[in-house]
Structure 1
Amino acid sequence: METTATVRRRTAERMRDTLERLATERDIWVSTAHPDHGPHQVPLWFLWDGQAIWMCTSATSVTARNVRKEPRVRLALPDTFDVVLLQGEAECFPDQEVPADAAEAFAGTFGWDPRGEEDSFLYVRVVPRTVRAWRGEPELRGRVIMREGKWCCGSQ
């Protein structure tokens, strides 16, 4: 059996790789919690606009209920080796009040515009405050690449 060693990336490389994944991936795990009902986790489509993650969910979903009551969320890209975890606060926009540029970008990316649906949807915007990224054990040290909303290796 052949094994390959993981080469430790510098912080700037982790940031570059993370931004590339945020710009190209489609799905993200959203973890929310409600003070009375506890934790909830679900995968959603997402769009990265260069500053924030945009997602959309049914206005009556558990995720919508939770972020209205407790806006702190954790997000994770779906890879257990090339890990990207984000933490921030959710800002909610009913489908008829979402900024047009965000809704149009979402519709253009996914070929689906929730604003035209019969049921109500909630757009959720999360500006990351903390981002952690690592590939395997060699990168556990130094995995925080954003702190308090600032990239650790310069502005972006």
Structure 2
Amino acid sequence: MTQVAPARSAKQRKQDTLARLERDADAWVATAGAEGGQPHLMPLSFLWQDGLLYVSTRATNPLARNLVATGKVQLTIGGTRDVVRIEGEAEVLPDAEVTAAFGDTFAEKAGFDPRAAGAPYPHFRIRPLLIQAWREVNEIADRDLLRDGEWLVTD
């Protein structure tokens, strides 16, 4: 039988989650079309900045079209035994907010620069509404760290 590590405190899970959001570069991003449209899942690089996530994808991709149509998104970071799951609201980042400094920061974290892609690659700003984190079954009951956009765990 596999030995399960003791459950982390909520405070430790929040610290670990924030560290992953700063450190990790990629997430699985899930959307669905309006009115029960086809689900779509794809890996995207992300930037975590000031409590918001930023992603970019080609404007013609189903994921981009779904984000524009519904604004609803789910992201998952990590493996199945150390997962951060995020539900959020997405909006297109206005071109005026894609400053040189923002674009450079995004490109450095993502490993590619959407500004140089040739085709339209809008950036999307994602405001987390729910953040959950767990490693094993012993952390599932207390997995919610942020709900309705507010941290449940104080520092």
1:140 lines up with 2:140 in the alignment: yes
What do the CA deviations read for 1:97-143 (whole angstroms, capped 9, x no partner)? 44314322112223432112321111111111110111111011111
* Identical aligned residues as a percent: 35
2:131 maps to 131
What do the CA deviations read for 1:30-86 (whole angstroms, capped 9, x no partner)? 110102532111110111113111111001111111011010111101310011100
Equivalent residue runs for 1:7-156 within 5 Å: 7-35=6-34, 37-93=37-93, 96-100=95-99, 101-154=101-154
Instruction: Name the Cα RMSD after superposition.
Output: 1.7
1:6 lines up with 2:34 in the alignment: no
1:58 partner SS: coil
With normalisation by structure 2, the TM-score equals: 0.91
* Distance in 2 of aligned mates of 1:135 and 1:117: 37
Q: Which moved more, 1:107-116 or 1:4-13?
A: 107-116
Shift of 1:4: 2.0
Q: Which moved more, 1:133-142 or 1:103-112?
A: 103-112
**Does the 8 Å contact 2:46/2:110 carry over to 1?**
no
**Does the 8 Å contact 1:46/1:53 carry over to 2?**
yes
* Distance in 2 of aligned mates of 1:133 and 1:78: 10
Amino acid at match of 2:7: R
**Does the 8 Å contact 1:28/1:44 carry over to 2?**
yes
Corresponding residue pairs, total: 153
Shift of 1:150: 1.1
More strand by percentage: 1
Can you give the 5+ residue segments of structure 2 that lack an aligned partner in the other structure? none
Can you give the 5+ residue segments of structure 1 that lack an aligned partner in the other structure? none
**Does the 8 Å contact 1:98/1:123 carry over to 2?**
no
